[in-house]
Amino acid sequence: MNGIQETGFRWTGLILGVMAMTMATSCKADSVQVFPEPWQVLEPGKPPEIWPKIEIVSEGREGGTIEAGDLVQISTKFFSTKEGKFYSTDDWWLWMGFNSQKETAFYSSNPAQRSALLGLKVGGVIKYLEEKDNIADVGKLFINPIGDPAYYSWRKGKKGFGRIFTPYESGYTLVEIKRVCKGKAQYRTVRLFDDSYVQRCTWAPLHCEMTKTPREGWIDEAKIEAVCSDGKVATFQYGPVESRNGKRWSGPVNAGNYFDRWITAAWDKLPVGVQLK
């Protein structure tokens, strides 16, 4: 065997080894056994002590007062100082929860922005006058009312966000309360288990074998179900994400990567954003 052939065999072996190890570290989604724990209430937490200042343009009608834990639909429109007219933007959903990302994976972004809505009614219109961190920009609005916006955007392949602006040289934003939905947010932990055959490989020496050694992982997921002031029902689902229960993932292969196919399939089943029926 000459040097070129020997090098070729080495590269072939390396490539096959990488392929084998890649195959060994992912499951068939339908082979995973799923053991969900009971749903638990996701408490909304306490709003921040400092709220942005607002101007109430319209009081709104009776009923549907916003409280902590509500799911609220808002509509925004931007007034252009240069053109002297309003431009309507999208509708957005906000969960009136105030836990931080350190406390839970199911947090809501921009708690100060949302705290200013507490006590308002359906049909109310407000203008934000200030925000402590940025004079003009009150903060972004996202498709997912709970959870990491960047992670959700990646998982669902949906980009885009809105903004609320306080008055500045270019204009300002008006926010209208369209719906106030009463219900609860919940979360649960799910145990993933698989003891079907899996290929386990080692590098040195390169060796692969089939094994039924169990693989185990833990994920968390959340949902919101709320009845709106007009009788419609709003729902939202987020997850799975790696659980914060502190339990160790285990298995003969990388357990964190092993369940990727199941996790991706679970995300693919979720509708995008809040559903209203």
Residue 230 phi, psi dihedral angles, 5° rounding: -100, 10
pLDDT in tens, 186-243: 999 999 998 887 777 777 777 788 777 888 999 999 999 999 988 999 999 999 999 9
For the domain made up of 44-182, the CATH class stated in words is: alpha beta
Distance of alpha carbon 131 from alpha carbon 175, whole angstroms: 15
Q: Evaluate the CA torsion angle 204, 210, 211, 217 in order and state its sign.
A: positive
Interacting residues of 143 by C-beta distance below 8 A, sequence separation 6+? 149, 152, 153, 156, 158, 160, 161, 272, 273
Task: Say if residue 23's pLDDT is above 50.
Answer: no
Task: Say if residue 120's pLDDT is above 50.
Answer: yes
> Residues spanned by CATH 3.10.50.30 within the chain?
44-182
pLDDT at 93: 96
Rounded percentage of the chain residues whose pLDDT exceeds 70: 84
Interacting residues of 273 by C-beta distance below 8 A, sequence separation 6+? 93, 143, 144, 158, 236
| Long-range contacts from 50-54, C-beta under 8 angstroms, 24+ separation | 50/112, 50/132, 51/112, 51/115, 51/116, 52/112, 52/113, 52/115, 52/116, 52/128, 52/129, 52/130, 52/131, 52/132, 52/138, 53/116, 53/128, 53/129, 53/130, 54/116, 54/126, 54/127, 54/128, 54/129
Give all strands (DSSP E) within the chain, no chain letters: 33-36, 40-41, 54-58, 71-80, 85-95, 125-128, 137-141, 162-165, 171-194, 198-202, 207-211, 215-228, 233-242, 275-276
Helix (H, G, I), strand (E, B) or coil at 24: helix
Q: Is 214 left (phi over 0), alpha (psi -120 to 50) or beta?
A: beta
* Whole-structure pTM value: 0.83
Helix (H, G, I), strand (E, B) or coil at 165: strand
Q: What is the arithmetic mean of pLDDT over 152-180?
A: 90
